[in-house]
Structure 1
């Protein structure tokens, strides 16, 4: 297990703050290249400024952090998320949590009329949230409400891969080749990929929504705006081509890079529990949802935080 510069760090805990009272926040690293569990912070009871500073530091060190056993309301999740930056309201506002427009329902559950209550196909391809936007999501916060199980086994894991570890592991000649290149990220191409694989389950976009999502170009290698790490920023889900390369060369390079980042040595696989609140850094990693639960109910609430233009 990696040692943490944050593990055992002392912070003043607010008196009377529920289960966290008297316990200093600490980050316990996962037995994986990325990820840490945070203890000593009860979001529902209220986090302090020192707590948020601790969480941001942990997030930028571990890329994904897990706060377990958080019994929170949608309003509390939205308020907590807003402390990490500007909340982004999804263009899929038909799936917003009532009363909290910055939260989106991710679920396979259907209403009595057969309509899905949330996005049912989110995360079927490796991606980083909002990369198809000029200012992609910097952070994502996902809260587990209904977690599928079968025969005592938890289903519906989320797998994360470190984009900076994947970059660091590239041969030096390949680093030299990809540094400075740009790639096109396309929501239209993303939907087409899902349709081709028979994975598309969400309601179709309106013409107005499609027009509001033009293709964008981002660096193939992105520099993290806080810690300065270089991260691969091309994905299986949303990257359609590398700008300036012939189609065959572009496809070959993209295939190599998107397969490279999926390697197990870069991954942390999260097994969900009800009440888990995950926060992750979309510059530093990519993620994939595991769809192994069929029609067993699953429901989570997601918040996205707008980030800067990638450089």
Structure 2
């Protein structure tokens, strides 16, 4: 109850100061009246945290924000992750560049949660649109909590006690990222420092206590301690279940747009429907904590 009161206090203050418009029943809201290029007050940071907990992904239109301001915005919410694969903005190594003219971004065009191959996957991420195609290039977000709530009670009980492996190589295979000897050497170094990790199939949100499905097509390879055929069938079901449109919202990007999502309980999908046009996005990723499930105690 204390958490709910805390969250409501700050979301109520935000509602008085900003315009907040929900985008779907389960996920997404547009926040108007925030200037993200300026330093945020302690109260503003707390209000945005409260809105993020409530809506899972927030959108801001008409923002003019430099890469350094983008980094500083992320730092207001925690320490920042440096991605082992993607190129970064010059002089801002925390800001990764997702540019279809420079990188093969197949790993973004499927349902995924960012960097779950880490022992401590990111808390959240902030994405800024830098160059957009005339048509296409939308991003979809899915609510892992809504997807979990829609499961049958027997399935919830079953999943609550399972764990799964998440593997860096599923989205970053050698076949795509090892075309030269130097690329193969670097890929091997990254793989050896990011061995497969085990996470609960159902994650408990560390701030709200909500349960969410925490397997994704981008990085989850198998469910632990069950037969391989059972694992494949169960993962296929969960991936299809997460793809149901009832749990989604879709964002059509415009110049100046910024998105901020809770990576702990959401998945997203960058539609690859604009080739040969170019699309450039910058992402700042905020470090998170070790996931725990319904049968676990949180690691403090």
For Structure 1 versus Structure 2, the TM-score category normalised by the shorter chain is: 0.7 to 0.9
Query: Can you list the C-alpha shifts for 1:234-291, whole angstroms capped at 9, x where unaligned?
Result: 1112110000010000100110011101100000111111111100011111111100
Residue pairs, 1:149-188, within 5 angstroms: 149=134, 154-188=135-169
Specify the alignment match of 2:91 in structure 1.
Answer: 99
Residue pairs, 1:211-226, within 5 angstroms: 211-226=192-207
Mark the CA change 1:8 to 1:207 in structure 2 (over 3 Å): closer, same or farther.
closer
Mark the CA change 1:11 to 1:202 in structure 2 (over 3 Å): closer, same or farther.
farther
Q: 1:56 aligns with which of 20, 40, 49?
A: 49
Q: Is the Cα contact below 8 Å between 2:178 and 2:187 reproduced in 1?
A: no
Q: Is the Cα contact below 8 Å between 1:7 and 1:28 reproduced in 2?
A: no
What's the secondary structure of 1:57's corresponding residue? helix
- Whether 1:41 aligns to 2:22 is no
Q: TM-score with structure 2 length normalisation?
A: 0.88
Q: TM-score with structure 1 length normalisation?
A: 0.85
For these two proteins, the number of residue pairs brought into alignment is 281
Output the CA distance in 2 between the equivalents of 1:299 and 1:140.
16
Residue pairs, 1:136-285, within 5 angstroms: 136-149=121-134, 154-192=135-173, 200=176, 204=183, 205-285=186-266
Structure 2 unaligned regions, length at least 5: 1-6, 293-300
Output the CA distance in 2 between the equivalents of 1:123 and 1:87.
20
What's the secondary structure of 1:300's corresponding residue? strand
What's the secondary structure of 2:124's corresponding residue? strand
Note the C-alpha offset of 1:89: 1.0
- Whether 1:133 aligns to 2:118 is yes
The structure where helix makes up a greater share of residues is 2
Output the CA distance in 1 between the equivalents of 2:61 and 2:219.
30
Note the C-alpha offset of 1:7: 10
Specify the alignment match of 1:303 in structure 2.
Answer: 284
Output the CA distance in 2 between the equivalents of 1:8 and 1:234.
29
Q: Is the Cα contact below 8 Å between 1:8 and 1:26 reproduced in 2?
A: no
Q: Is the Cα contact below 8 Å between 1:156 and 1:291 reproduced in 2?
A: yes
Output the CA distance in 2 between the equivalents of 1:83 and 1:157.
27
What's the secondary structure of 1:77's corresponding residue? helix
